[in-house]
Amino acid sequence: MTIIPTAWAPTLLSVLRIVAALSFITHGTQKLFGAPATDPRPAVALFSQFGLAGVLEAFGGGLMLLGLFTQPVAFVLSGEMAVAYFQAHFPRSFWPLLSGGEPALLYCFLFLYFAAVGAGPWSLDAMLARKRR
């Protein structure tokens, strides 16, 4: 007996992608525009490593939200999160909980999953594939 019918898996893949992308976009907008934030922060220099991360997170997250070019974008974002984890978090502690690296680690593997399986049926990628047939 399954609690959730397996036929829902493709739809839930799309829902997971959409929710993850919405959350991820906020990391980019916080870096680029200082919002959302509880304490006002100045935006970062666009031509810096942190600025590049903000662009990847905001605009790559936007492509993920739409489900457009999902697999290559997800692969790039997975790599970005691996770099973020090993540069900023791993040196603080081996344990992600202690280093504050849990979000980076989870996004890394979540995007790696999307790079392998794609966007799901609720995506521009799926719509474009249907039109090509």
In the chain, how many domains are there?
Answer: 1
CA–CA distance, 75 with 109 (Å, rounded to integer): 10
Report the pLDDT value the prediction gives residue 68, as an integer from 0 to 100.
98
pLDDT for position 35:
87
Give a yes or no: residue 4 inside a domain. no
pLDDT 10s digits, 21-66:
999 999 999 999 888 887 777 778 888 999 999 999 999 999 999 9
What confidence tens digit (pLDDT) does each residue in 72-107 have?
Answer: 999 999 999 999 999 999 999 999 999 999 999 999
Q: Within its chain, how far is the Cα of 71 from the centroid?
A: 12
Query: What's the pLDDT at 111?
Result: 98
Residue-averaged pLDDT of the chain: 95
Looking at residue 8, the DSSP 8-state letter turns out to be: G
79 within some domain: yes
Which ranges in 5-69 belong to alpha helices (H)? 9-33, 49-55, 61-66
Domain that holds residue 29: 11-132
Query: What's residue 116's pLDDT?
Result: 98
How confident is the model at residue 113, as a pLDDT? 98
Q: pTM for this one?
A: 0.94
Is 44 part of a structural domain of the chain?
A: yes
Tokens for 127, please give them: 């719509």
